[in-house]
Structure 1
Amino acid sequence: MLEIEDVGVRYGSDVVLEDLSWTVGTSGSVVTALLGPSGCGKSTLIRAVAGLEPLHHGRIRFDGDDLVDQPAHRRDFGVVFQDGQLFPGRTVASNIAYGLRMRRWSRAAIRARVDEMLDLVRLPDLADRDVDELSGGQAQRVALARALAPRPRLLLLDEPLAALDRLLRDQLATEIAEIVRDAATPTIVVTHDHNEAALMADTISVMRAGELVQTDVPERLWSSPVDAWTARFLGVTTVIEAEFDGAVAQTDLGPVGLDVPDGHRKLGLRAESMHAVHAGADDDVVGVVAAVADLPAGRRLRVVTDIGEVDAVTSEHVAVGDRVGLRMVAERVAVIGP
């Protein structure tokens, strides 16, 4: 259990974090993602946890132990940064063994642990390869193996995949999540990428301007963002007003059935929340197609309606200028607010 209480971090007169509290390490949650836009203080918070950033005030505890006065090397945390920070000119095995040598493991124990780590990160034949010859994905696996080798109490991953291309990022995100779960190592991953957070984490905490605004499992986070800013950060493109009565919401874009108590709420719509078809006589909500994008996940539209432009998806062949009917997809609609 990591407990952060009223933590503040400042760079001179610039306040980066102020009175921030956060608890990480609930049962069944091995990987926690700290998700937020660039510059919101995510990396500063993780560096403070690792002991690499001094606190202006506040407390940090792990399993009840106060860490504030403990130097970084005594916290027994593993850290992987965006570029991996491998030692150049050395072999893969030498990099992985570094922390073990610092802890004065025997040569036999080091060899066995390095082999174990190479198997864990799926690089069993690269022990003798120079790290300068590795691909980006291989280098990050080696950095992960090096961090896990000493059996850290907590693993901190600071934007570990940001420098990789999208296909490799998605693949490696899934693999890293499997690796740390196999190692049974509690992990915090810092990211600004929604997909990365969803692929890796059991729990996601959203950060904004030095504050934590919501912590939840991914499914509830997407479907029930705490406020409009969080909803838009998580991919909502349109926010509309709704009046609920008998588990049916009446909106300017038509009715939608949702199991929500009666009263006034806001709904968040992503493209997949609205399904478009060629307009027919029975359509209550009609708009004009302003843009069409054929994406790998399907055809996405920008549609002009009486309440403004909304995004939608369709399986039909439509063109700019076509009239389409719009229907909300209930299971893809986010209900905003507590």
Structure 2
Amino acid sequence: MAVVQANSLLEDQSQLETGPLSSNHLGPQGTFIGVYDGHGGAEASRFVNDNLFCNLKRFSAEHQGISENVIKKAFSATEKDFLYLVKKQWFSKPHIASAGSCCLVGTICNGLLYIANAGDSRVVLGRTERATKEVIAIQLSTEHNASNEAVREELRSLHPNDSDIVVLNHKVWRVKGLIQVSRSIGDAYLKRTEFNREPLPSKFRLSSPFLKPILSSEPSISVQKLRSEDQFLIFASDGLWEHLSNQEAVNIVNNNPRNGIARRLVKAALKEAAKMREMRYSDLQKIEGGVRRHFHDDITVIVVYLKPKLIDDSCLCCSPLSIKGGGQLSAPGN
């Protein structure tokens, strides 16, 4: 895992958990990976980091295992609890209504990989081709960014009477001219009209109330059985993918030692960011957070290597592990 900060306050959060995937410890064992790319502040991403996995374990215990339904319920409960927090702090901290977080989650359990995504973070699988022995990149997540035509069409179909549901603003497509992602946890000001008024800052307030949520918290979910050819998974916030293609990232992981591999990916992205601005990487490193956001976004990367024998063993006889990122981890340039 590696993190690099670009904003004046680090808005990315992340976690990796191994061990029991249910709160009663009677359910399955497995691995949980989460990348939470915050925007409008760190309140939502921190909340997700503290609550989503706990909610998943609770519903897993209730339903006796991991399923798409369990994951959706965990997202929904996390969203509901955060919106309750916004309501509770509305008059003392109204800015929290404009805080949101993309949410990318992977769960490995009983040989199955569940990917759930709300927002534009991405997970890419490195798989060995049997014929050529080359390791190819396979994108596993569906992204919800208004730059994608399919997302714009989805928004227009959901809001047929709103001609401004997506707006091209300075060559960037934005939902209501305000935000690029169409799904997230948080962003209460675009989900409940009660939060789209004073004392919310005027730049977030819409000219007229809306009758139904503009953004959604429901993730896109895919499930697949992991194969012996599957080598590793790269989970990352969009800050990485703005500068590296899927195959470039897979090539870096495949052709370098495991130790420090997430840091190596971050460094490769930062070098590309520096090259785009015709500056040296060493000069980019000297730029402080806040100003640095003009050159690249916060970047979080988690690389998970896959071992078929462990994946197929539902017991996963290993010690529980819990790692969280969001301030205490660093990468080149931090």
For the aligned pair, the TM-score class normalised by the smaller chain equals under 0.3
Q: TM-score, normalised by structure 2?
A: 0.22
Higher relative contact order (CA 8 A, sep 6+): 2
The structure with the largest alpha-carbon Rg is 1
TM-score (norm 1): 0.21
Q: Which has the higher helix share?
A: 2
